Each structure stands twice: as C-alpha cells, then as structure tokens.
Amino acid sequence: MTSNNAVGQLRSVVLDCPEPRKLAGFYRDLLGGDLLEGDDDDWVVLVENSGRRIAFQTAPQYKPPRFPDPEASQQVHFDVLVDDIEQAEPAALALGATLVQGETDGAFRVYADPVGHTFCLVWLPDE
C-alpha cells in the first residue's frame, strides 16, 4: 500500500553512539557504501550503494540497549539480508559484531554492533 499524500520522505535513519566515525565505519564494512564526512566529528552519514542513508550522531551519555531486556528496549534494529548466513556471520563477527541470539525459529540471527545496537542477519529460506 502506498500513499500519494505523504507529508515527506525518509531522509536518514539516525543512530546515537559515542563515536560516530567509528560506528559508521563498522556499518560501511558490513553494508557497503560511502561515508559522507564533514568537519564535525559529531555527525557522520553512510550512504549505501542503493542510496539509503544511515547517520550516526554523538550522544555523550549513550547507554546501549540490553536485548532482550524489556526494561532497556532496543527501540530500533536493522534487518540485513544476506545470501549465505554461514559466510556472513563470520564476516560480521570479524568486523566487531557480537552474536546475541543464534538459534531462532526463523531465518534470522540477532547481533549487536560494537556499541550495542542490535541488528539481524536474515536470509530467505530454501523453497
């Protein structure tokens, strides 16, 4: 379903973190794309090859979510589609991801990025 009466368009998804440049580098290596860096270390933007944007901003008092603790909700996470989980998982771990939940009842595994934001590696089940 689409709406022709949209108020606007999503420009970026923004993640709070203690070191934007460092976390942006993690996601660049995980997802591909280019970093748009300005003179300010408090804001870095990753533009994926598809044109999607993820921005990273300094949050001096940042506290990571504690998935699956409902008292410290994750609030947002990314689903990253991969062709082969057996190749993607070791690559993500080598970049600094941490496995949070490996065995699920679906075609996904849950990870945390280097500052604790959760994301999933997802794959299409064999048909």
* Mean local confidence (pLDDT), 79-104: 94
In this model, does residue 42 exceed pLDDT 80?
yes
What CATH number labels 10-61? 3.30.720.120
* Model-wide pTM > 0.85: no
Residue ranges of the chain assigned to CATH 3.30.720.120? 10-61
Where do you find CATH 3.10.180.10 in the chain?
A: 63-126
CA distance 126 to 19: 39
| Partners of residue 13 on adjacent β-strands | 54
63-126 is classed CATH 3.10.180.10: yes
Average pLDDT over residues 72-99: 91
